[in-house]
Amino acid sequence: MKTFKIFICVIILCLLTIVLYFTIKDNSLISNAIKIDSLNTNKHSNTSLKIVNNSQNTTDKPLALASNHFSQADSPTESSDQPYIVECNLDVKNDPESVTEFNKEINSQLNISKPDEQLASILFFNNKLSIHAENKNSRNNALINYFRKSPDEPLSFHRLLTQCTQASYSYCNQEFYDSITTIDKDNGSLWLTLASIYIKENKIELVQSALLKASYAKNFNDYYFDTIKLHRNTIEKYAPESINEQLISGVGYAAALPLGYSHALEYCNTAQLIKTQELCLQIGLTMEQSSKTRFHTGLGLSLQRIYHDRQGNQDTVEALTIKTSQIYDFTLLMKAANLLSYDNHLTEQWLNIALEYNEASASDFLVSEAILLSKNPNYQPCPISQWPHY
């Protein structure tokens, strides 16, 4: 059984796993992205399958935890080569039945006349919405209706656009694409998703245009942390006593959206024209520098590796592989992430930094702050029942 600290870290910062996987598997970026996309699973990590019911039910009941109990290391002794970070034991009771009942209770309290609470209901708490898009009472249809009333909300239109890569729904048309690119024109993630749609439609000129815009995008943002924030804000308002235990739920919902641009990645991987290859290289460089999450950073590095491998630049390929493997100090990050389920103030700081800057900055802060807090003998975020007895 996995320890809780490994479990929550891999979930909260599950971007690392798939990034490292791409590093190990030479040129496996595209095939794995497509596999993840076609299964409609979490794009950040296969581990997330343990926090969703199954690959076809990711947005309906996002949690099916493998166990109720996760044990932590008992010793508070600081190792000789690593700083000490406080660790707590946690008894997680978040089975699918209790999650369903909890969501039902929250949903009954929401004020649907408020846009943010209506969106929270659609994305998280309304268990009556079907995941099957063709169903009249589907989550997809609810999002479409919401988008018509609140067209500038990226959490809705980003999901709707991603669904257009799966099937051709009635709203998947140029009018819809133009409306959202006007709002989110600097988001490379959106342009890559559009490129994937145009590839399916064999609209090559539009493909090249979308890739070009992705190559100089100011950011790559799939609104991962925005989703966590919306879920957390709702819990804080209607069930503040559950805010700690529901953190995993919020992360699960954020992780449930499939990758929307596997076709674009495959297009880059198989491109024969040097102009297109260089364009995809520039996308990789931009993703590395401008990504909101480490997942996109890893994809950017992988796109660069694909280009340089084709050119026979093995020294550069090896340097990029090493660079990818150094994305996280994973051991310290695991320990620090454990505190997010106990220290509300620390969690808020971590989340706000991720939203304002990026995941890398938030991770650096989390590790350094956890080390600093743990040096204070009066810092005790663990439940009273876990305090040492003398």
Residue 47 has pLDDT above 90, yes or no: no
Give the DSSP H/E element, type plus range, for residue 159: helix 154-164
First-to-last C-alpha distance (Å) of the chain: 30
Task: Look at 244 and 126; give whichever has higher pLDDT.
Answer: 126
Burial of 6 (0-12, 13-18, 19+ CB in 10 A): middle
**Average pLDDT over all residues of the chain:** 80
pLDDT digits (tens, 9 = 90+) for 254-313: 988 888 999 999 999 999 999 999 999 999 999 999 999 998 999 999 999 999 999 999
Does 335 reside within a domain? yes
Count of domains forming the chain: 1
Q: Is residue 314 included in any domain, yes or no? A: yes
Would you say residue 379 lies in a domain? no
Residue 386 inside a domain? The answer is no
Percent of the chain with pLDDT over 70: 75
Amino acid at 69: H
CA–CA gap between residue 350 and residue 361 (Å, rounded):
9
106, 169, 111, 110: which is closest to 143 by C-alpha? 169
Nearest CA among 283, 311, 308, 310 for reference residue 297? 283
In a domain, residue 390? The reply is no
Range of the structural domain that residue 207 is part of: 4-374
In the chain, the DSSP E strands lie at 69-70, 90-91
Greatest mean pLDDT range, 71-80, 220-229, 240-249, 317-326: 220-229
User: Is 387 part of a structural domain of the chain?
Assistant: no
What does the pLDDT look like over 4-34, one tens digit per residue? 344 334 444 443 333 333 333 334 444 444 3
Nearest residue to 295 (alpha-carbon basis) of 221, 388, 201:
221
What does the alpha-carbon distance between residue 37 and residue 22 come to, in Å, rounded to a whole number?
15
Query: DSSP of 7-50, one letter per residue?
Result: HHHHHHTTHHHHHHHHHHSTT-HHHHHHHHHHHT--SS-GGGGG
Please report whether residue 103 resides in a domain. yes
**Does 388 reside within a domain?**
no
